[in-house]
């Protein structure tokens, strides 16, 4: 179980500021490990929506999550603000690996970091679809 | 079942800006009715912490929720921003009724509004305690 | 702020057994007040699905929540089991008021109780629709 | 991005039946990827509590999550029942890797599977502590 090393802010091209909520803290008084994934989802999908790459209720092609993972280095807790650094780790024919680091308040070093693999599928048939050209071009700018 | 009338922003002395999250939207594509209460909790407790009236892990006196309610007027959805208007509806010996309205993005009229009654108790014994003088003074400024 | 009196099991015609989850407990080591509403939603909608009265992804008529409320009498916590007592409090032309009490493990007296008003609307237009005859007949059996 | 192969029930020594909730389904009508981790947390901690190995509010030694991961093979949705298969993948001096597969209703092959690494620490100092003898003995029976 070799531990990862926490990434720093300068390894990310884009950031999103995220709020914590009262109930994010569990019995141990810190942000529960599950919440990190809710923040990943919010950071990545919020960013895709803003870039015009996703409309969750109408897009014909939607991202299905096929793999996620997270390493936790230090505790965060409500009412902390979390800054999510995001980058594209890899682009396949119909899949994208997003990499996300979560920075607590003004800290320069990640409190947690993880990834999130989307396979893009047809909303109805759920069959994989190649990434369209616009998406490829936009995502290339954020490629690691 | 007489319906309430939506309140407007000028009926509130304090506001907090709150983010929505991807998973706040349920199968119907809108913010699930449960999330409104998570936002109430976050708005009120975040404000109490900022005013120096609560430290959730160390305060000897903590607020137990004994009653909550919400009326829903119109739909909100991720990635909307929600502005919570907050005011104190009533102060008892050891209880406070907080009133909260949720405004969608820049809207002037509430999409939902509700209340939340805290009884202040000793953290260990869970017995009600009278509101301390500092808290009374601070909350009076926000009394309806 | 007149407090309600906790109801007992014999005031309910139907029950559903519900599980708690690790993260239902907040910093105070008890089930957060928001979770009660997630359990109401799960009890009522799960029951409607089982009765053949709702298919959340395909039904043309769906229930929009317009009002909810809850009174909290005593604490519950993961890993408690929660038994939800459900009954119909009122049926209008296009709305139903469901009443739910949450019993902790084997307790006879409610730890919390609340209500939940659905207005039935067309999924597309979101316009209210009269309750259909089948639904009226089924719900009458559970009327308070 | 080599995909994992779904595990089957006969690869697990212990199981826990878990309920889904209404709001587990997101805009795409299926269980959101985050919920899988809430189920992992609930399965493992519920099992530790039942075995007498954890009391979340009083144990001097508690498990901090340092790494989690999940591979998703097929969709689940409320009101499905989920059966969690659990096993111990590895025991270190002060850490345990738990492996969990989630089976939809009566299916024999996992809809999703993942892991979850706990480092056992002192509740106050948050410093790692060696696994005690009782815990080692109990966990050995569930070792992969």
Listed by start position, the domains of chain D span: 11-140
Q: Within A25-130, where are the H helices?
A: 35-50
The number of beta carbons lying within 10 Å of the beta carbon of residue A52 is 10
Identify all chain A residues contacting B39, using CB atoms and an 8 Å cutoff.
Answer: 21
Rounded to a whole number of angstroms, the distance from the CA of C98 to the nearest CA of chain D is 16
Q: What angle do CA D53, D55, D56 make, to 5 degrees?
A: 125
**pLDDT surpasses 50 at B88:** yes
- Which of the four pLDDT bands, split at 50, 70 and 90, describes residue B116? very high
d(CA C134, CA A52): 44
Q: Poorest-confidence range of A8-12, A51-55, B16-20, C81-85?
A: A51-55
**pLDDT surpasses 90 at C63:** yes
Q: Name the DSSP letter for residue C5.
A: P
What mean pLDDT is predicted for residues A26-54? 96
Predicted local distance difference test score (pLDDT) of residue A2: 55
Identify all chain C residues contacting A21, using CB atoms and an 8 Å cutoff.
Answer: none
Give the pLDDT confidence of D55-71 residue by residue, as tens digits: 988 999 999 999 999 99
Predicted local distance difference test score (pLDDT) of residue B2: 56
Instruction: Tell the residue number behind the tokens 């059966």, with chain if given.
Output: D83
Answer yes or no: do C79 and D41 touch at CB < 8 A.
no
d(CA D89, CA D96): 8
Query: Which of C57, C69, C97 lies nearest to residue B27, judging by beta carbons?
Result: C57
Q: How far apart are the first and last CA of chain C?
A: 25
Give the pLDDT confidence of B43-79 residue by residue, as tens digits: 999 999 999 999 988 999 999 999 999 999 999 999 9
What mean pLDDT is predicted for residues A107-120? 97
The C-alpha R_g of chain D, in whole angstroms, comes to 16
Answer yes or no: do A37 and D41 touch at CB < 8 A.
no
Instruction: Tell the residue number behind the tokens 């109805």, with chain if given.
Output: A124
Tokens linked to A11? 């390894």
**pLDDT surpasses 60 at A100:** yes
Answer yes or no: do A32 and C25 touch at CB < 8 A.
no
What mean pLDDT is predicted for residues A9-27? 97
d(CA C77, CA D42): 13
Instruction: Check if the beta carbon of residue C30 is closer than 8 Å to that of residue C93.
Output: no
Query: Which of B23, B41, B79 lies nearest to residue A22, judging by beta carbons?
Result: B41
What are chain B's partners, defined as 3 or more CB pairs within 8 angstroms?
A, C, D
Give the pLDDT confidence of D33-49 residue by residue, as tens digits: 999 999 999 999 999 99
**pLDDT surpasses 80 at A7:** yes
What mean pLDDT is predicted for residues C48-77? 94
Instruction: Find the residue in A nearest to B50 (Cα).
Output: A79
For residue A103, give Cα distances in angstroms to A106, B16, D33, D48.
7, 22, 22, 31
d(CA A39, CA A48): 14
Q: What are phi and psi of A42, to 5 degrees?
A: -70, -40
Q: What angle do CA B113, B117, B119 make, to 5 degrees?
A: 165
In the CATH scheme, what is the homologous superfamily, with its name and number, of domain D11-140? Hotdog Thioesterase (3.10.129.10)
Predicted local distance difference test score (pLDDT) of residue B17: 98
For residue A112, give Cα distances in angstroms to A26, B114, D68, D125.
17, 35, 11, 20
Give the pLDDT confidence of D74-122 residue by residue, as tens digits: 999 999 999 999 999 999 999 999 999 999 999 999 999 999 999 999 9
Q: Among candidates D9, D3, D1, D5, which has minimal Cα distance to D86? A: D9
Identify all chain B residues contacting D26, using CB atoms and an 8 Å cutoff.
Answer: 22-23, 25-27
pTM: 0.96
Answer yes or no: do D23 and B32 touch at CB < 8 A.
yes
**pLDDT surpasses 60 at B36:** yes
d(CA A28, CA A13): 33
Burial class (CB in 10 A: 0-12, 13-18, 19+), A55: exposed
3-state secondary structure of C109: strand
Predicted local distance difference test score (pLDDT) of residue D2: 56
Predicted local distance difference test score (pLDDT) of residue D1: 43
- Which of the four pLDDT bands, split at 50, 70 and 90, describes residue A142? very high
- Which of the four pLDDT bands, split at 50, 70 and 90, describes residue B4? confident
**CATH code 3.10.129.10 for A9-140:** yes
The number of beta carbons lying within 10 Å of the beta carbon of residue B75 is 16
Identify all chain A residues contacting C22, using CB atoms and an 8 Å cutoff.
Answer: 26, 32
Predicted local distance difference test score (pLDDT) of residue C56: 87
Average model confidence (pLDDT) across chain C: 95
Q: What are phi and psi of B65, to 5 degrees?
A: -80, 125
Answer yes or no: do B3 and C34 touch at CB < 8 A.
no
Instruction: Find the residue in D nearest to B22 (Cα).
Output: D26
Highest mean pLDDT among B1-15, B74-88, C45-59: B74-88
**pLDDT surpasses 70 at A1:** no
What mean pLDDT is predicted for residues A114-126? 95
What mean pLDDT is predicted for residues C24-30? 95
Answer yes or no: do B70 and C68 touch at CB < 8 A.
yes
Predicted local distance difference test score (pLDDT) of residue A57: 86
**pLDDT surpasses 50 at B134:** yes
**pLDDT surpasses 80 at C134:** yes
**pLDDT surpasses 50 at C68:** yes
Average model confidence (pLDDT) across chain A: 95
Tokens linked to C86? 């459900």
Give the DSSP per-residue string, chain D. -PPPPPPBGGG-SEEEEEE--GGGB-TTSSB-TTHHHHHHHHHHHHHHHHTTS--TTT-SEEEEEEEEEEEE-S---TT-EEEEEEEEEEE-SSEEEEEEEEEETT-SB-SEEEEEEEEEEETTT--B-PPPHHHHHHHHTTB-
d(CA A21, CA D44): 24
Q: Within B6-132, where are the H helices?
A: 35-50
What mean pLDDT is predicted for residues C99-118? 98
Answer yes or no: do C66 and B56 touch at CB < 8 A.
no
């Amino acid at each position: 179980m070799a531990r990862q090393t926490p990434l720093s802010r300068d390894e990310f091209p884009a950031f999103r500021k995220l709020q914590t909520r009262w109930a994010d803290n569990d019995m141990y008084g810190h942000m529960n490990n599950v919440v990190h994934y809710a923040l990943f989802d919010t950071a990545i999908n919020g960013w895709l929506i803003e870039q015009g790459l996703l409309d969750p209720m109408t897009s014909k092609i939607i991202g299905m999550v096929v793999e996620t993972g997270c390493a936790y280095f230090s505790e965060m807790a409500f009412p902390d603000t979390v800054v999510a650094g995001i980058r594209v780790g890899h682009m396949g024919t119909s899949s994208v690996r997003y990499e996300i680091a979560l920075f607590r308040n003004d800290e320069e070093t990640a409190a947690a970091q993880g990834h999130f693999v989307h396979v893009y599928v047809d909303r109805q048939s759920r069959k994989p679809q190649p990434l369209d050209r616009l998406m490829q071009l936009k995502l290339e700018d954020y490629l690691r």
